[in-house]
Structure 1
Amino acid sequence: MGVGKVMNDVKPYLAMILLQVGFAGMYIVAVASLKRGMSHFVLVVYRNLVATAVMAPFALWFERSVRPKMTLTIFLKIMGLALLEPVLDQNLYYMGANLTSAGFASALINVLPAVTFVMALILRMQQVRLRSRHSQAKIAGTLLTVAGAVFMILYHGPAVQFPWSKAQHHDGAGGQQGGFLMGTITIIVACVCWSGFFVLQANTLQSYPAALSLTTLICFMGSLMSGAVALVAERRNTQAWRIGFDTRLFTCVYAGIVCSGVAYYVQGLVSRQRGPVFVTAFNPLCMIVTAVLGSIILKEEITLGSVIGAAIIVVGLYALLWGESKDHANQVADVSASGGSKGTAAAGELPITTNGNGNGKHELGGGRGRGLVFDVETPAANGHY
């Protein structure tokens, strides 16, 4: 039983680590295709079509007897999810990465947990006690994360040389200053959209707990909506829709299967178990892998400002996560002490279920009477990407 419990606890970590490695590969192949002239509007359409085709058979077969009835509210939530992730987030991120670099974009995207935390505060989904060390750590972590992002934007510095990058031509992270600034802004807006996607996805899974079907519907609606956008954006360039057996086709298939289909499903499960902030906690791993691969494959330049800013972001990120983990542990202890599901009928509380070991757990996290919260202990993109 002890080994089984350890394996069950390790699963979310292993899933998110493998997912971040998959995201890193997508960042590299996507930027390579974009810099060769592929339209990011078309890439988003094909990516989500591939994801829909791959995930639909699994959803139809494995969830044929458990799929809830579709209601207008759930349909509107799915439309919102498709708008936030496939349409806005993916297009803005690809645009920003193309204007900057894969390494810079994957480093800046680490502000995602802080954006999610701030969004939770604004929506009154998080509770902060200023006298609590855990809350102070979350606030300090958020401020450090923002400071690191600002540092990356304002200071570039000299290029950092790696043994494999000497005497190579580099693709500067900035290019023209105007393009770099626009790329930075689009990446930050993409972070906001992605955070909104995580919050809405976790909420939607409460009323529509068929994760495979939800993933398929998000990708399908995303294909239709992003297709309409692409038709308008590329109306004078019909050649943009043509892809051959090259990196563009590989990018569409890889991103569709790994970073849309599999990622949405896995992130949805882990988000239900550990909360959206936990899902975003592994971005630094993706940043490191992307930076190394980008400097080797794409010959991208990594500046000192990006390295320092990324380090500040990581410190802030884990201060935020330390506070989240301590709050989470306290909430689990409170739930266990209160007798699991006892008293869940109180107004404003989320339902508490029990696992096989009898330990109470919130489906979407957190303290009593607080509505939706991010500190969760039950089965969780974007990505992302």
Structure 2
Amino acid sequence: MACCQEKLFHRLKPFIGVVFLQFGYSGMDVLSKAALNRGMSNYVFVVYRHAFAFVVMAPFAVFLEKKVRPKMTLSIFMKIVILSLLEPVIDQNLYFLGMKYTTATFAVSMYNVLPAITFVMAWILRLEKIKLKSTRSQAKVVGTLATVAGAMIMTLIKGPILDLFGTHATNTNNVQNGGINLEHAIKGSVMITIGCFSCACFMILQAITIEAYPAELSLTAWICLLGTVEGGIVALVMERNNFSAWSLKWDTKLLAAVYSGIVCSGMAYYIQGVVMKDRGPVFVTTFNPLCMVIVAIMGSFFLAEQMYLGRAIGAIVIIVGLYLVVWGKSKDYESSSTITEENMLSAKQTVEKTNSKEEHFSNLGTIARDEQV
């Protein structure tokens, strides 16, 4: 019984990890949008975010991975430098800029193209196997296309406003807070899409780096440290005449920086690394649409953002695509597990046969010596 529970928990761990990530990201989207609405610079926000993440994660990395942390090489260090540029600097700044032009719900909706981009890149680099005659591969391809189609529906189609639980009935600032014009939507979409490409590259490179440097906490601390330095350089350039942008008080800005740093940078990079070891980068990104659903609900309540029928339809399409991809990946995992078990069984049988033959020849030698005596 205990063995079955242990196996079940082992199988559920990746799902628990990625679902936790999406809840964490959803809280970050709402808090960061509120901070940006209060005038916080996205460049400064990214710097503080990774500074807080480094301060929290570094002690765990130093003490818990003292014996398992591999030696740092120039090749690994250069990979980490690129990692800290791709996601902490390029992706996050473009994402928050896109969010400034649009809404939190819109930004999360656009980010649902990330699984498709990661899937294609992983396939090109042979980190993801595709056999078009296989049902599970067809499910992954169709599901990936569905996530892209759903994101496009949410971006281009509005439709009538949905009054969720009467949250907009008494709010007079809906158009200002929730409505976005086409020009801003296009600008935001371009920025967020480029950020998606950068994040997909980060996911792929993190999966490659974790094989050469299998110390997830230390890798996380390094990414946060270098992300703080590189992001700080960008922020100093972009906010060179605005020193007041660096001031923090006990308000939403500080809360957003601390929360997103600890949960969405420190813990997220670590959990991603652990899950990637077992399931790969595509599995991690396929759960992004869950964040969209959470943010849509939270944004409607706390930010007075409008929910349109087009976005609701796009959300349904995305969730169907997510299910297909996860189903295909689960079949891949079961297949690989079966092959591994068969290989282990075959190897065990080979060893047993070898031992049996050695024992047989040993017995023959013993008999022969006895006959000579």
Pair in the same fold by TM > 0.5: yes
Q: What is the one-letter code of the residue matched to 1:305? A: G
Is the Cα contact below 8 Å between 1:171 and 1:299 reproduced in 2? Answer: no
275-284 vs 180-189, which deviates more? 275-284
> Does 2:234 align with 1:229?
yes
> Structure 2: how far apart are the matches of 1:195 and 1:64?
30
Per the alignment, in what secondary structure is the counterpart of residue 339 of structure 1?
A: helix
Shift of the 130–19 alpha-carbon distance from structure 1 to 2, 3 Å rule, reads: closer
Give secondary structure in 2 for the equivalent of 1:114.
helix
My pick for the range that moved more, 40-49 or 62-71, is: 62-71
Rounded to whole Å, the distance in 2 between the matches of 1:8 and 1:229 is 41
Task: Deviation per CA, 1:156-180: give whole Å up to 9, x if none.
Answer: 1221111241221354555232111
Aligned residue among 198, 208, 213 for 1:208: 213
Q: Which range is displaced more, 287-296 or 172-181?
A: 172-181
Judged with a 3 Å threshold, the aligned counterparts in structure 2 of structure 1 residues 177 and 90 are, in CA distance, closer, same or farther, namely same
Distance 2:151 2:20 in 1: 25
Instruction: Measure the CA separation in 2 of the matches of 1:171 and 1:323.
Output: 42
For residues 168-205 of structure 1, what are the alpha-carbon distances to aligned partners after superposition, in whole Å with 9 as ceiling and x for unaligned? Answer: 13545552321111111111222221111111111111
Match of 1:309 in 2: 314
After superposition, what is the alpha-carbon deviation per residue over 1:98-122, rounded to whole angstroms, capped at 9, x for unaligned?
2111112222222222111111122
- Give the structure 2 partner of residue 95 of structure 1: 97
More divergent stretch after superposition (269-278 vs 295-304): 269-278
Q: Is it true that 1:246 corresponds to 2:246 in the alignment?
A: no
Q: Which segment is superposed worse, 68-77 or 282-291?
A: 282-291
> 1:338 aligns to what?
343
Runs (4 or more) in structure 1 with deviation over 6 Å come to none
**Structure 1 residues 209 and 163 mapped into 2: Cα distance closer, same or farther (>3 Å)?**
same
Give the structure 2 partner of residue 259 of structure 1.
Answer: 264
SS of structure 2 residue aligned to 1:338:
helix
Residue deviations 1:25-45, cap 9 Å, x none? 111010001011110000000
Match in the other structure for 2:75: 73
Q: Is the 8 A contact 1:174 1:180 kept in 2?
A: no
Relative contact order higher in (CA < 8 Å, ≥ 6 apart): 2
1-side partners of 2:178 and 2:119: how far apart?
Answer: 28
1:329 aligns with 2:331: no
Q: Check the 8 A contact 1:171/1:300 in 2, yes or no.
A: no
Equivalence for 1:86: 88
The equivalent of 1:150 in structure 2 is: 152
Change in CA separation of 1:218 and 1:313 when aligned onto 2, cut-off 3 Å = same
Amino acid at match of 1:288: V
Identify which of 273, 282, 289 aligns with 2:294.
Answer: 289
- Within the candidate set 158, 167, 170, 1:167 is matched to 170
Aligned letter for 2:196? C
CA distance in 1, matches of 2:346, 2:201: 29
Task: Name the CA distance, whole Å, in 1 between partners of 2:192 and 2:102.
Answer: 10
Distance 1:242 1:340, change over 3 A: farther
* Matching residue within 188, 193, 199 for 1:194: 199
Q: How many residues align?
A: 343
Residue in 1 that maps onto 2:48: 46
> For 1:69, what is the secondary structure of its paired residue?
coil
Read off the aligned partner of 1:206 and give its amino acid letter.
E
- Computed over aligned residues only, the root mean square deviation of the Cα atoms, in angstroms, reads 1.8
Tell me by how many angstroms 1:254 deviates. 0.6
SS at match of 1:180: helix
- Shift in Å, 1:153: 2.2
Contact 2:122 2:282 in 1 (8 A): no
The question of whether the paired residues in 1 share the 8 Å contact of 2:115 and 2:288 is answered with no
Identity of counterpart residues, as a percentage?
48
**3-state SS, counterpart of residue 344 of structure 2:** coil
Q: CA shift at 1:14, angstroms?
A: 2.0
For residues 338 and 266 of structure 1, the distance between their equivalents in structure 2, rounded to whole angstroms, comes to 29
CA displacement at 1:341 relative to structure 2: 10
* Equivalent residue for 2:279, pick from 274, 283, 287: 274
Q: Of Structure 1 and Structure 2, which has the larger fraction of its residues in helix?
A: 2
Any idea what SS the aligned residue of 2:165 has? coil
Shift of 1:67: 1.3
The Cα shift of 1:211 comes to 0.8
Q: Please say if residues 117 and 277 of structure 1, whose CA atoms lie closer than 8 Å, have aligned partners that are also in contact.
A: yes
**1:106-121 map, 5 Å:** 106-121=108-123
Deviates more, 1:143-152 or 1:244-253: 143-152
Looking at structure 2, the residues matched to 58 and 97 of structure 1 have their Cα atoms a distance apart, in angstroms, of: 33
Query: Alpha-carbon deviation of 1:73?
Result: 0.6
Contact 1:211 1:268 in 2 (8 A): yes
Tell me how far apart the structure 1 counterparts of residues 243 and 264 of structure 2 sit (CA, whole Å). Answer: 26
Rounded to whole Å, the distance in 1 between the matches of 2:345 and 2:38 is 56
Letter in 2 for 1:271: M
- 1:181 maps to which residue? 186
